[in-house]
Structure 1
Amino acid sequence: MIVEFVIQQPTLLDALRSVPSMRVEWEQTDTTANREVLQVFWAIGDDFEAFETALHGDPTVTAPRCLTEFSDRRLYQVEQVGEGRAQSIYPAIVEVGGVIQRCTATSEGWELQVRFPDNDALSHVHDICARHDLDFRLRRKYEEASDTTRSDTFGLTEKQHQMLTQAVEQGYYEVPRKIGLDQLGSELGISHQAASERLRRAVTILTENALSLERDDRPDEGVDTQAAE
């Protein structure tokens, strides 16, 4: 299960809000033998001098060090301290078997894409965010198709494939239509709204994978937070 969400975890947010043209891409987090929590990240933007000054004033990190430098990005290492360390959800994600696939930050907050083993794991991380009073906004939640499924069905889940197949076979896309969403949903045991959402997602995923398009980070309007489809 893949989950995309935004949280207001405080690490580096002061620095990013001081220089909003910069953004951060998380690389890794490690704990040393002295129990220091070291975070490595890429900073991307056009004002590294101001960003480095802001790093030294950010209360969530200390000892910033530039490891690698390119024209448009630099690799930094910092130690997480204070609220940055106390409110980090990284340990909770690791504890439940989550795998971070993407983690970026801007002045608006941290955006994560995480593979969770199940809904209980997601619920645990959500509870940790609530305990730390961290705003959690779900963007998307969906099942990850296997390599076999992806090659055969262009990345559609079984439910999405079934929905789209029935819609085509029963004349939903014909002019005039031979079947409506109410009847399609009824045959699958779901509501009109759920049928509309599932069909919309199926068409979007099919198109993106068939045309090899990159998915953007737009929110998935109307995502059912109770069941990934």
Structure 2
Amino acid sequence: MGQILRVEGATQVTLETMVPLGSTPTPFVRITDGARRSFERSVREHDSVSAIRPVDTHDEETLYALEWEPPDDSLFREFTDRGAALLGATGSADRWQIELRFPTHDALSAFQEYYIDADVPVSVEKIYNPTKPDAGPWYGLTAVQRETLTHAVESGYYSLPRTISTKELAAEFDISDQAATERLRRGISTLVENTLLAAESD
């Protein structure tokens, strides 16, 4: 897919979702900046692509649907054959960042053996093994809980002495003091339930 969706310069491509239509998942990709024409032309010229159509355009971003047939020896085929799910992917001119979920550790190990043997340059940034299967990649935190907790820690809310007050923290998110406190409380509770308490029960 990285070869199909090749881009130039500062252009960025984001895989929005993969929709299973027929036997092959249909990728929906979003491209930023003004490189639409060259992007469409290069994608259409690829042997694996039968069609590319714009679905939505907003400001300087365009969402495309792709009809394609991944080659048997492609990286995509390899991890899907291992039962892995593609959770997200973002590409630039020189690299792609992808997030995958494997059903088992053995499937992950087999995929690693494949890309090492195939001499595919891969840099693993993080391997996450959820303690609770339904906790998700962020230990069950919602996006706003994750953002608020992260900002609170980085701003010194939990430091001694505290370098940002609850009121100041709440103002940065345009919410009330009580809402900020409740968001932090629920976030910490969720973290503990999906890590420490879950580990104890296991």
TM-score using structure 1 length: 0.48
Cross-structure match for 1:28: 18
Distance 1:26 1:125, change over 3 A: farther
Partner of 1:61: 49
Report the equivalent of 1:98: 84
Equivalence for 2:4: 12
Deviation at residue 28 of structure 1 after TM alignment = 0.9
The corresponding residue for 1:72 is: 60
Shift in Å, 1:38 = 5.6
1:39 paired with 2:19, answer no
The alpha-carbon deviation at position 45 of structure 1 amounts to 0.9
CA deviations 1:115-154 (Å, max 9, x no partner) are 223331111112332454422221111322434x768xx9
Structure 1 segment 81-92 matched on structure 2, within 5 A: 85-92=71-78
The DSSP-based 3-state class of the residue aligned with 2:100 is strand
The one-letter amino acid paired with 1:104 is: T
In 1, the alpha carbon distance for the partners of 2:116 and 2:19 equals 22
- Matched AA of 1:44: I
Distance in 1 of aligned mates of 2:101 and 2:25: 23
Q: CA 1:134–1:39 in structure 2 vs 1: closer, same or farther (change >3 Å)?
A: farther
Does the 8 A contact of 1:22 with 1:51 survive in 2? no
Residues 30-67 of structure 1 show CA distances to partners (whole Å, capped at 9, x for unaligned) of 4646xxx4632222311123322332344553422222
CA distance in 1, matches of 2:128, 2:3: 27
Task: Compare relative contact order (CA 8 Å, sep 6+) and give the higher one, 1 or 2.
Answer: 1
Query: Does the 8 Å CA contact 1:28/1:40 hold for their aligned counterparts?
Result: yes
Change in CA separation of 1:116 and 1:32 when aligned onto 2, cut-off 3 Å: closer
Structure 2 distance, partners of 1:131, 1:61, is 27
Q: What TM-score, normalized by structure 2, do the two folds share?
A: 0.53
Could you tell me which amino acid in structure 1 is paired with residue 85 of structure 2?
V
Deviations 1:77-129 (A, max 9, x none): 23335xx5244333433333323222222222321112223331111112332
The runs of 5 or more residues in structure 1 that have no matched partner are: 1-8, 156-208, 211-229
Q: Tell me the amino acid that sits aligned with residue 7 of structure 2.
A: L
For the 8 Å contact 2:31–2:62, the answer to whether it is kept is yes
Query: How many residues were matched structurally?
Result: 142
Aligned equivalent of 2:38: 50
Q: CA RMSD in A?
A: 3.7
